[in-house]
Structure 1
Amino acid sequence: MVALELSMWLLTQFVRITFSMVMTSIGYAIELIRDFNVDVIIGPTCNVPAIAVAAVTAFYNIPLYTWGFTTANELADTVRFPTCIVLTPNYLT
């Protein structure tokens, strides 16, 4: 955990390595939301875990920024994943 305080902002970074495993990604996402009260999640970097975590973050209304190899067009569906922001291009973006 890394913390940085900027005036009235406190930025804390939590790192969880999932090795592109779906259940691990879901578990870590729920842990970060429930236990650490995060405001945003960055990752996972692979399609299948990203889709699963996007469903979790949509349920909890937490922004999810996907990056890396997350090019699944499903993630561009703003009705299904309203809190997911895809940082890599796909043919729908």
Structure 2
Amino acid sequence: MTGGLTEPMIYDLTRQSLWVAVVISAPVLTVALVVGVVIGLFQALTSVQEMTLTFVPKAAAIVAVFWLSMGFMTTSLVAFFTDSLVPLISGD
């Protein structure tokens, strides 16, 4: 490939990068949202306003989902780098 990266190629690579970031972060952010809403509802219904009640379950759920989805995240990132970035770097 001669001439390096063109402007459309940079925009396409940026779009792909942002999409990969959204897909990879979706499981963790979704669980954080759901757990936060459930705990918020529980606090509103019971009038319990303990700060650790919001932090500890949310942190535990995020760590669990992160641990469960690490393989998916790694596979997605490796596929993105292998398919998109490495060919641009090597010039193939």
Q: Relative contact order, CA 8 A, sep 6+: which one is greater?
A: 2
- The structure in which a higher percent of residues are strand is 1
Shared fold, TM over 0.5: no
- The structure in which a higher percent of residues are helix is 2
Q: Please classify the TM superposition score into its range, dividing by the shorter chain length.
A: under 0.3
Which structure is larger by alpha-carbon Rg, 1 or 2? 2
